Amino acid sequence: MHSDNKSNKQTADILSLITKQLQQLTKGQVTCLDAQKALNRYGANTMAISRNFGGAFIVRQITADHDQAVEVANIGHIVKVANKYGTPLQVISSGQNWGYGSAMATDDSRAHFILDLSELKRIELDEQLGIVRLQPGVTQQNLRDYLDNCNGAFMVPVTGAGPSCSIVGNALERGYGITPHADHFAAVTSIHAVLADGSYYRSAIASLDLTEQNTVDMAYKWGLGPYLDGIFTQSNLGIVTSMSIRLAHEPEEVATFYLFLAEESDLERVFPLVQQLLRDFAAVVGSINILDSRRMLSMMVTNADGLSLARQTDVDRLMQEYKVSQWTCIGSLYGSARVVKAVKKEIKHKLKGNTAVKRSLFVSAREIALASQFISLLPDNLFAGPRRQLTTLKKTTQIMRGIPNEVALPLAYWRNPDKPTPLHGLNPAKDNCGLLWYAPLIPATEGKIREFIDMVRTICLKFDIEPLITLTALKHDCIDSTVPLLFNRADPAAIRAAKLCLDELFTSGCKLGFVPYRLNVEQQRRLLSAKKPHWTIVNKIKNALDPNNIIAPRRYNP
């Protein structure tokens, strides 16, 4: 018998033993899948990688009064049995971490098992505090529907990943969005988790609070004693079973503003204004996104056949057709109608002294609805470019208001020769899209921003990858960039070029001070050094909490 066949048989035998034990321990509340079914369900990704699946365990939500305790106990049973048989667990919420690995594990040295928490969808809202406790399976759309049904006047912490993605999963990856609580983990107030030995973690405050509500645990982020909640983010130190997160109240007024820059060099002259807006109106202005012309076009042009945003001639023609500027700054104002009106007036006053902004636009959802109604009365063959731009503005404004949609997802299909029509209900992994993310932090100075832009464009064009640049100013002193590397999954040369491009961006960027805040599952195992002091400490904690290395081996831990 070949070694691979022998290994596969051993894995199947172990799964059979685990399945019998889990069915008894959980009374059938955990569904077990074999390796092939696990591969079919979880194997799709946008990175063109594969993993050796051993099987999968799907934890079901139940509805009895003691359901949460039972669900946590079931997860405890799974990790204890996994320890017994030495079976590594890759834990997922929705498994839709597009461009970073989807449901794929970091380590592939052993056949791993998926621990799927996507069916745990409990939502508990304290409306007075504006804090919600969520389980890992709660998606952006799940929370939006819940809030709409109970008339909860709160905003969903949305991202561009789309309505079907987990809120807990994004916060644990330290993701960010564009609503007032832009930094999603900063809005997290408490975490509950199961450790590798099956024990249950809560903060010291939660343990001391003898009331049933545990209100102070939900409301006070830092707890008592050493702050431990943070070790469960970007890590493999435990399995988060629920999370409390502050929601931004739905304000009386939301106004989105757009600043259009006609010249490439105008960016340096506008960035100080962006910093000033974030500094002076921190409680009113959310994060500000700065998108180059290619990135804007990638959101507006759905038919990419024969087009390449790596070719300047195509870029110039499309910019003219769709009325796209060299750079577009997008932000929102949140507050009472009087406050928004006052801040809008102040911003317009500041714009008078900045000649780099060739045109500005302040627009509300109501105004966009009126414009859409007007343009719908015109013949379909008129104003094709403005129609597309208006549609994009409408969806972008919805995102700013905490309403999840797919406005950013068609980007993943730019190089996909088999795009679904229409582009709705999208799943880039299952639809065979090619997408990798480069997501570095950038020093907030005009010189370093220009150096970053030049680096990205030079390296991307070298590999015939379209340099689609977004700069997100989360605060006046913190710039994050997200650069999608798009490629045709059906072309082996394109796959190789995209991966080489990402490697060069990482290496060159680190030399210039542009350091990623997130890494995909391949980068985590190839680019991190276990000898560095930070990772040495992480490994000591891992050895103490998970000596058998069961939970997500090597995930953010070389």
pLDDT tens across 222-251, in order? 999 999 999 999 999 999 999 999 999 999
Stretch 12-38: mean pLDDT, rounded? Answer: 91
Stretch 183-202: mean pLDDT, rounded? Answer: 97
64-73, 124-133, 440-449, 488-497 — which is least confidently predicted?
64-73
Return the exposure string of 331-362: e unless at least 16 CB atoms fall within 10 Å of the residue's CB, then b.
bbbbbeeebbeebbeebeeebeeeebbeeeee
Give the model confidence (pLDDT) of 501-549 as tens digits.
999 999 999 999 999 999 999 999 999 999 999 999 999 999 999 999 9
Closest alpha carbon to 402 in 288, 247, 199? 247
Please tell me whether residue 23 adopts helix, strand or coil conformation.
Answer: helix
Q: 555: which 2 tokens?
A: 């995930």
Split at pLDDT 50, 70, 90, the class of 1 is very low
CA distance 181 to 187: 6
CA distance 471 to 114: 34
pLDDT for the residue 395: 79
Residue type, 307: L
- Per DSSP, helices labelled H in 463-550 are 492-512, 521-526, 533-545
Whole-number CA gyration radius for the chain: 24
Q: 516: which 2 tokens?
A: 């990623």
Tell me, yes or no, if the pTM score tops 0.95.
no
